[in-house]
Amino acid sequence: MPEKRLRILLIVFALAGLALAARLTQIQIVQADYYRAKAEQSVILAPNALPFVRGSILDRFGEVLVADRACWDLKLDFAAIAADLASDDVVEQEYRQLAANNLQLMARRLRRDRRYAHLQTRELLIDAFQADMRTMWGDFTWFSVIANGDAETDHRATAREIFERITRIRRVVADRRGFDAPIAEERLAHTLIAELNAEQQIRAREMFTRYPWVRIEPSASREFQGSNVNHERPSGEPFAHVIGRVARVTAEHLADDPERDNPFGRYEPDEWIGITGIEAAAERVLRGRRGRVIRDRDGKLIDEIEALDGADVRLTIHAELQRKLYELLEYAVLARPDSSGGAIVVLDVPTREVLALVSYPSYDPAEFAWSYPELRDDTNRLPLLFRAVGTRYAPGSTIKPMTCLAGLIHGAIQPETKEHCTGYLFDDVRDGWRCWEIHGTGIRKAHGPIDVIEALTGSCNVFMYRLSERLGIDRLTAAFDMAGVGRTTGIGLREEDVGINPTPSWLSATLNRTVTPGLPRLYSMGQGEIAMTPLQVANLMATYASGRWRPVRLFAENTPGEAALYRAMPGGFGTEENASPEWRLPGSPAAWNAIRRGIFGVTNDPTGTAYKYAHFERDGWVLSGKTGSATAHPWPTAYRIAYRDDFGQERVAIVRAGAKGPAIERFKYENPGVAFDAESVEVAARWPKNPPAEGANHAHAWFGGYLQRVQKSGGTGSPPGQAGFTGAMPPAATQPDFLREPRIAFSVLIEFGGSGGQTSGPLAKDVSSALLDVLGPNLDPDHREMTDVTQ
Amino acid sequence: MSPNSFDIPDSRFTLTYPGWIIAGAILVLTLLGIASIYVTDTHYVAGHDGAANAMKQAVRVIVALGVAIFVVRVGYQQSGRYAYLIFAASVALLLPLLVAKLTGQSFGGLITPRNGAFRWIQLPGALVQPSEFVKLGLVVALAWYLRYRKNYRRFAGLLLPCAVSLVPLALILMQPDLGTALLLAPVLFVMLFVAGARVGHLAILVIAAAAAVPFAWQHAPDYQRLRVTSLLLQSESLRRLVIENPEKYEGIATRRQALEWSASAGYQLVHSKNAIGSGGLWGQGWGNGVYVENPLLPDRHNDFIFALVAHQWGLAGSALMLLCYAVIVAAGTRIASQTAEPFARLLAAGVVTLIACQVIINVGMAVGLLPITGMTLPFVSYGGSSLLVSFVAAALLVSISQHRPYLLTRDPFVFKREHHEDLHETRPRMAAGVDRATMA
């Protein structure tokens, strides 16, 4: 039997061998001529890449916000760049040989060029090349002056930067491969002047075609568009943060590219990649794949693979609303000399589609390349900060309804429970645990005996202190967690900050602190470590309005094709691992009714904190909302680090960062191997540079709210089943329809704006008015006013 | 021919007939390899040109030959004594790679990923690929374990070698190196088969493996699936069909994959076939031809060296190469059938399977019959670990052919049902019963 089995084994191997032999005969004898022709072709024919167009970003109606615009790039062969640096002692020792080799290569190339054919020896060719390079740099300066009126740009320095970038890529590739070898980038031409328009490129062709190493190639640049008829400001400004930016790929991008072996999908040097906002989040969708064409020497088409243009990304943003709110926010911020900026977020409550994501100050994306240093150094306004999504603030009193809801859920209070507010938590300790101060008067507000509705309406701190003591920190932070504090909103933007929910475990792990009785008191009114973004507060308002927490959506998903597209985005919106579940918050109808009546009272009860500023009723809609004044401290924006340089000299570096840890990380990254004293690191600059004067209210002004239908039948205003319950209702005839889910929720923040009611209240009123203007009397997100008469 | 026949003399210190022809075949193969490496400039950098690589390879051949002679002198029996130790040591070599991958630690620059795979350890002076040693370690350990009847005739006895083989298989799969990992499966199966495992048991294993295939297909990364579908996409007419009706052929490839195939996923295969086909009957000649002069075919000096040989020497060269391997495999099988010792026979069969499978997979992928994986061609490809392991494997064959014990017992592996019943089945069962009783 084993003999037999060995024989079977041998037969199996023999059969496999026969199959191989048969296949070899087929390839090497029968089809030999076909393969011989193909082998010859593959050397002679050089493929040319076909460019693709990056997808556009659209608003919810398909209006183009940003799109690719055709332009031309002026490029220089790498060999010429390197050869020009051969006689330059600034080049690193490691790559001096590379420059010298390229000088020889240029000489060999020029020998074949008929313009240089009269030069016989290599030395003469090198001399001619170097002389021509010198005149070319002169031509470049002259070209900049006549094309842009710019005599400052040092193009030779740009060329040196390109050389350094390529050698850096070469080092990364060498580390990966294990040996140093030429890389593909050394065979390419690299962009020296980007984005020439039609007129400039004709002029450039006139001036530079005499240099065989200069190329002028078609390219594309991102251009912000949109109906700009009635707007004097640059059209991109309201959208700059949410749309984000593209930048040239770096060596790190190239090294991490999952498609680096695929000539159609991989990033090539000088290509664009989205680095912030939607451009980064939807990079995979927006980016296309290049094609390839092969022609023989007579120009006959041998093979063509068409390019695949990137897909468009449609957002849920309502462009007209976004523009309008940006203007409102700008006026509101500029009216406060202390304020450094602000944000407005508008959500559609049933779907949680983001209708507007406004952050002020912003910048003009068309001018970004030139204004970047100025924007970066503006520590007073921090215009590069995406406040609506990427910056966290203490939520202030906007979180109080959640504290009350937790109390009602756990039975710590009943809707009827009354607490006595004397203006102070402890009558004998008057410098701490106070209720809020009536503006500019120095008078503490004493609410007297109040129930939960009155506590919310009057934003009583003492009520919250007592309630939080009964709840304890665990139940309080668990309730905050349900409301989305410290959770991602699911928006899918890389800039998103998830905020902080200060649970006991977070406190011990991050701050190494134990829970003291004071902490739940602080958190119950949204102060202390608790932090949220304006987007989270808007979603919190939608949660109050509907009783459900849901992830927000920034990408429109109306067709199945679009849905599949977004699911394919890595880490993006709608992927399985990123899809946050939706849940209904607990709480009896009575509890929810009390919360919503409290929020309603803030803007509609004469005792409400925002009644004076934000009482709004129009077209059958009434505004409910909660004010918040979050005590704020100026933030550090830069750190001073003392270190010793290579010569042992003591030096000081200013590193831009928001905290000590990142500052040290960044310093280490920028100065590898340099010794410094971690103890000596101190704050060098704070934001804003001129914080509000001493004695003024150091607070961010919040307003979060939603628009509710006014009840048509003039009934009691109490939903069925809650008829026995009477809260502190205003005498006014207006009664909201609590049974119908509010349509639109929003949040408004003005940094260092002072009191929430006084500063953000009027803005909230303007926002409500704008919402009705733009979305129509039904507050339908898919409604828009046709402002452009030409359409 | 009976294994107990005395027709071949025991010549312990001279190379026997099968030894000589194996050595001859290996000589031809290594010469073809070095000659091809010599004319291929790999990286156009000093220290990496063809001549330097060929020199390195020649030195490795000499070192490997020295090790092989040492193995023949020591004798294959020693490998049995240390079988489990050898296997454990070779598997242990894989562990640092896994640690490096999971923790990102490089052990002082010893382990760095290349093209995303953690497959090599950079020792001073040599780049070591531990998965090559595991192949041989597994063969030795399996031969040592399966020499007992109770281990291979009962299904429970078969589970242990299967489970043990899965350890290196999983470790290699994580590097990731699908080709080498999948090579271990046929080696395991053939050794169980040759040892005499029941056909029913083997069928269960085959069915279990077949049942795992759809699951593996579902969970395989896209690029691995594309390697398999590439075999179909070779056909230009199929590619055109996919491009024209992408919905209908969704299961094979997307429209874009078919469109890009010849320049991305199928690039290596297209050029490998061009190189082999353009060799014709007699080839382009040594150091001549498009694919020698241009670096169009990636890995042409190691994994795709067969294409280079076929390009330069045509069908004559590729047939000579296959013939050399056929000689080694035939001689190895003969050695296996002539030895009477169970361990020696299993070892010989395992070594033969190892070499044959590598050749079939490597040549099969070069001509477009099998999916492309990272698999070296034994004795020919550029690379030290592969060469050393191939030489040691051949040395084990030669050693077996020289040590032929005279046995006065029944033929091994030949038994009838009654032997099986009374000798081996009853005793372990009783022993187990006693154990259970004393424990209770």
The DSSP-derived string for A465-511 is HHHHHHHHHHHHHHHHHHTTTTS--S---TT----B---HHHIIIII
Mean pLDDT over the full length of chain B: 83
Calculate what percentage of chain B has a pLDDT beyond 70: 86
Under the banding of pLDDT at 50, 70 and 90, the label for residue A192 is confident
pLDDT digits over A527-578, tens only? 889 999 999 999 999 999 999 998 888 888 766 566 666 665 544 444 444 5
Which residue did the predictor score with more confidence, B4 or A384?
A: A384
Q: Which of B112, B113, B277 sits opposite A32 (nearest CB)?
A: B277
State how far residue B65 is from chain A, nearest Cα, in angstroms. 27
Give CA–CA dist A556/A58, Å, rounded.
Answer: 10
Q: In Å, how far is B394's CA from the nearest CA of chain A?
A: 17
Q: Is the pLDDT of residue A95 over 50?
A: yes
**What are the pLDDT digits (tens) for B115-127?**
778 888 888 777 8
Among the residue ranges A370-384, A452-466, A709-723, the one predicted with the least confidence is A709-723
* Residue B24, SS3 per DSSP: helix
Record the pTM: 0.75
How many A-B residue pairs are in contact by the CB < 8 A criterion?
150
Interface confidence, given as ipTM, is: 0.86
Question: What is the tens place of the pLDDT at every residue in A36-80?
Answer: 988 888 777 767 788 888 989 988 888 888 988 888 889 898 889
Residues 130-189 of B with CB under 8 A from A: none
pLDDT of residue B324: 95
The yes-or-no verdict on residue A283 having pLDDT over 80 is yes
Q: Are A27 and B367 within 8 A, CB to CB? A: yes
Mean pLDDT of B186-207: 89
Checking if the pLDDT of A199 tops 50, the result is yes
Contact B263 A264 (CB under 8 A): yes
Length of chain A: 791
Residues 104-123 of B with CB under 8 A from A: 112-115, 122
pLDDT at A121: 86
Q: Dump pLDDT digits (tens) for A616-667.
A: 988 889 999 999 988 877 777 778 888 887 777 788 887 877 778 888 888 8
Return residues 731-760 of A near B (CB < 8 Å): none
Structure confidence at residue B46 as a pLDDT band (50, 70, 90): very low
**Whether A638 contacts A654, CB under 8 Å:** yes
Q: Which residue spans within A368-491 are E strands per DSSP?
A: 419-421, 437-438, 443-444, 448-450
Most B CBs within 10 Å, among A3, A7, A27, to test the B interface: A27
Q: What local confidence, expressed as pLDDT, does residue A338 receive? A: 78
Mean pLDDT of B181-199: 88
> What residues contact B15, with CB distance under 8 A and at least 6 apart?
B23, B398, B402
Nearest chain A Cα distance for residue B272, angstroms: 10
Question: b/e per residue, B117-140, with b = 16+ CB within 10 A?
Answer: ebbbbbeeeeebbbbbbbbbbbbb
CA distances from A72 to A195, A445, A557 (A): 5, 66, 35
Please report how many Cα atoms fall inside a 13 Å half-sphere around the Cα of residue B157, on the Cβ side.
19
With a CB cutoff of 8 Å and minimum separation 6, the contacts of A745 are: A346, A347, A349, A538, A539, A541, A542, A544, A545, A704, A705, A706
The pLDDT of residue B10 is above 60: no
Decide if pLDDT at B68 tops 90: yes
Cβ-defined contact of A5 to B196 (cutoff 8 Å):
yes
Work out the minimum CA distance from A13 to partner chain B, whole angstroms: 7
* Predicted local confidence at residue A789, as pLDDT: 42
Residue A182: its pLDDT value, please? 75
* Range of lowest pLDDT (A315-324, A554-563, B35-44, B176-185): A554-563
CB–CB of B326 and A261 under 8 A? no
Q: What is the mean pLDDT of residues A761-777?
A: 92
**pLDDT tens digits along A481-526:** 999 998 888 888 888 888 999 999 999 998 888 888 889 999 999 9
Rounded to an integer, the average pLDDT of B186-201 is 88
Position B3 confidence tier, pLDDT thresholds 50, 70, 90: very low
pLDDT at A325 over 90: yes
State which of A393-407, A441-455, B224-238, B247-261 shows the largest mean pLDDT. A393-407
Using the Cβ of B245 and the Cβ atoms of chain A, whether some distance falls under 8 Å is answered with no
Label residue B369 by pLDDT band (50, 70, 90).
Answer: very high
Tens digits of residue pLDDT in A132-144? 999 999 888 888 8
Asked if residue B169 has pLDDT above 60, the reply is yes
Once rounded to an integer, what is the mean pLDDT over residues A377-401?
88
Higher pLDDT, A681 or A734: A681
pLDDT band at B13 (very low <50, low <70, confident <90, very high): very low
Report CB contact under 8 Å: A27, B277.
Answer: yes
Residues of B in contact with A10 (CB under 8 A): 329-330, 333
A255 touches chain B (CB under 8 A): no
Alpha-carbon gap, residue A610 to A602, rounded angstroms: 6
Q: Inter-chain contact B281–A38, Cβ cutoff 8 Å?
A: no
Where b means 16+ CB within 10 Å and e means fewer, B387-424 reads bbbbbbbbbbbbbbbbebeeeeeeebbebeeeeeeeeb
Which of A 623-662 lie inside 8 A of B, CB atoms?
none
Q: How confident is the model at residue A297 (pLDDT cuts 50, 70, 90)?
A: low
Average of per-residue pLDDT across A296-310 = 80
The partner residues of A357 in beta bridges, in order of sequence, read A345
Position A403 pLDDT exceeds 90:
yes
- At B313, the pLDDT band (50, 70, 90 cuts) reads very high
What is the average pLDDT value for chain A, to the nearest integer?
83
Over residues A431-486, the pLDDT tens digits come to 777 787 665 566 667 888 889 999 999 888 889 999 999 999 999 999 999 999 98
Closest Cα partner for B355 from B387, B380, B390? B390
pLDDT digits over B377-388, tens only?
999 998 889 999
Structure confidence at residue A723 (pLDDT): 39
**C-alpha distances in Å from residue A764, one per residue of A60, A400, A626:** 23, 19, 10
CB contact under 8 A, A13 and B360: yes
Identify the pLDDT of residue B25: 94
Confidence band, pLDDT 50/70/90 cuts, at residue A259:
confident
Q: Output b/e per residue, A751-766; b: 16+ Cβ within 10 A.
A: bbbbbbbbbbbbbbbb
Q: Are A377 and A433 in contact (CB under 8 A)?
A: no
